[in-house]
Amino acid sequence: MPRRDTPDIELLKEILDKLELLVNLTALQVASEKSITEGARQLKMAGLDNQTIAGVLNTSVATIRVVTSNLRIKRLKLGNRRA
């Protein structure tokens, strides 16, 4: 027999869905009119995961992984020059 979620669990699922929607809408505002690299950088700094960033920027998770990795490498190289 299938288990039915309690009303509390259903409400929590609805709240989670709406929160995810708000995160995505806010991320779209941040990333609009920006390149994938700049959008990924800003959204990563905001704490979003690669999958969410990829969805917002309409690209693959692999692309976001490469872009953010390249940004980290670039930041490390710049940091070593200043030391």
- Report if residue 11 sits inside a domain: yes
pLDDT at 2 over 70: no
- Report if residue 1 sits inside a domain: no
pLDDT of residue 81: 64
Side-chain half-sphere CA neighbours of 65 within 13 A: 4
pTM (two decimals): 0.71
Give 41's contacts (C-beta < 8 A, 6+ positions apart): 67, 68, 71
- Report if residue 2 sits inside a domain: no
Q: Give per-residue pLDDT as tens, 40-81.
A: 999 999 899 999 999 999 999 999 999 999 988 888 888 766
pLDDT of residue 37: 93
Query: 39: domain range?
Result: 7-82
State the average pLDDT over residues 33-39: 92
pLDDT of residue 11: 94
